[in-house]
């Protein structure tokens, strides 16, 4: 077993709020420069770019985990990760069908670009991804279970779109063993207000929308291999697996 440096919350050019500079090649170069060995591409409500980014990740020797940042009906953001593409894809298809049928406004939000490994535009996603699913937070957790995903609420210290900001608390659920933190989160201050968070494993990520943010925050995982199954074990502190987060900025 060894330590793997991971950034499990990174947006691609598919996220309307993300920079068009987030091409597969550029993302992997930036990750490599920051010694990130595991990344998850987590666009808003879509996994459409995961496979093409994975092709380039492999060239860099970086493990790409299939991910998505779901926005639930309560406007809670949660990161969902998968080991198997078939399960990821089916979850993603269901998620897409649960999105409110609103079209993206590229002038206001930016383009939602589906890209291939050669960095050619395949299509523009027309449905607004920066919108809510009709799934409630609880329904989302059930769907994650059904497709063997791993979920953690995103940026819980953020004042918007976090489970604490939207619901006021973190619902008790067997699937929630870890919570995501922003790069800026001061854990001591957070725990002083929300002492009950101590029982969760913290996962700090960059939530990068622009290249310079990649690796600005990360989590190290002590694992046998770079898989979601192993990351879950590390979050549970099982069989010698562990986690360690970067200090805040
Ligand atoms: Zn978010
Ligand atoms: Zn995000």
User: Tell me: the pLDDT tens digits for 157-203?
Assistant: 999 999 999 999 999 999 999 999 999 999 999 999 999 999 999 99
In whole angstroms, give the CA distance from residue 5 to residue 57: 15
Question: How many Å lie between the centroid of ligand 2 and the Cα of residue 156?
Answer: 12
What's the pLDDT score for residue 54?
98
Task: Provide the number of structural domains found in the chain.
Answer: 1
Mean pLDDT score of the chain = 94
Residue 244 exposed, middle or buried by CB count within 10 Å (0-12, 13-18, 19+): middle
Question: How many Å lie between the centroid of ligand 1 and the Cα of residue 161?
Answer: 6
Question: How many Å lie between the centroid of ligand 2 and the Cα of residue 239?
Answer: 31
For ligand 2, an ion, list residues with CB under 5 A.
Answer: 69, 207
Whether the CB-CB separation of 200 and 178 falls below 8 Å is answered with yes
Instruction: Determine what percent of the chain is predicted with pLDDT higher than 90.
Output: 82
Residue 249 has pLDDT above 70, yes or no: no
Tell me what the mean pLDDT of segment 60-71 comes to: 98
33-47, 97-111, 140-154, 215-229, range with the lowest pLDDT? 97-111
Start-end of H helices in the chain: 24-33, 50-59, 85-97, 106-109, 137-146, 163-167, 187-193, 228-235
Tell me what the mean pLDDT of segment 133-152 comes to: 97
Question: How many Å lie between the centroid of ligand 1 and the Cα of residue 1?
Answer: 31
pLDDT 10s digits, 204-239: 999 999 999 998 999 999 999 999 999 999 999 999
Question: How many Å lie between the centroid of ligand 2 and the Cα of residue 183?
Answer: 12
What's the pLDDT score for residue 19?
76
Question: How many Å lie between the centroid of ligand 2 and the Cα of residue 206?
Answer: 9
Question: How many Å lie between the centroid of ligand 2 and the Cα of residue 159?
Answer: 14
DSSP class of residue 72 equals -
What's the pLDDT score for residue 140?
98
91-123 b/e (C-beta count within 10 Å ≥ 16 → b):
bbeebbebbeeeebeeeeebebbbbebeeeeee
* Ligand number nearest to the C-alpha of 156: 1
Half-sphere exposure for 225 (CA within 13 Å, toward CB): 3
DSSP per residue, 21-70: T--HHHHHHHHHHTT--EEEEEEETB-TTHHHHHHHHHHTTPEEEEEEEE
Beta pairing, strands 38-44 & 219-223? unpaired
* Ligand number nearest to the C-alpha of 163: 1
Question: Can you give the CATH number for the domain in which 92 is found?
Answer: 3.20.20.140
pLDDT 10s digits, 82-129: 999 999 999 999 999 999 888 888 877 788 888 898 888 888 888 888
The parent domain of residue 24 ranges over 2-245
In whole angstroms, give the CA distance from residue 195 to residue 197: 5
Beta pairing, strands 178-181 & 201-204? parallel
């Amino acid at each position: 077993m060894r330590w793997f440096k991971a950034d499990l919350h990174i947006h691609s050019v598919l996220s309307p709020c993300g920079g068009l500079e987030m091409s597969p090649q550029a993302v992997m170069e930036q990750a490599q420069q920051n010694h990130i060995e595991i990344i998850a591409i987590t666009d808003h409500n879509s996994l459409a770019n995961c496979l093409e980014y994975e092709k380039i990740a492999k060239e860099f020797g970086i493990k790409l985990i299939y991910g998505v940042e779901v926005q639930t009906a309560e406007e809670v953001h949660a990161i969902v990760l998968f080991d198997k593409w078939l399960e990821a894809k089916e979850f993603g298809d269901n998620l897409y069908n649960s999105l409110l049928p609103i079209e993206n406004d590229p002038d206001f939000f930016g383009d939602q670009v589906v890209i291939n490994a050669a960095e050619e535009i395949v299509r523009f996603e027309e449905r607004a991804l920066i919108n809510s699913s009709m799934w409630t937070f609880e329904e989302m957790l059930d769907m994650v279970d059904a497709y063997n995903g791993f979920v953690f609420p995103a940026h819980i210290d953020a004042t918007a779109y976090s489970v604490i900001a939207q619901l006021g608390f973190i619902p008790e659920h067997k699937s929630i063993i870890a919570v995501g933190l922003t790069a800026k989160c001061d854990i001591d201050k957070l725990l002083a207000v929300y002492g009950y968070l101590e029982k969760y494993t913290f996962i700090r990520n960059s939530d990068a929308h622009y290249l310079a943010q990649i690796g600005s925050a990360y989590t190290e995982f002590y694992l046998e291999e770079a898989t979601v199954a192993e990351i879950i074990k590390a979050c549970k502190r099982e069989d010698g697996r562990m986690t360690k987060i970067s200090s805040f900025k």
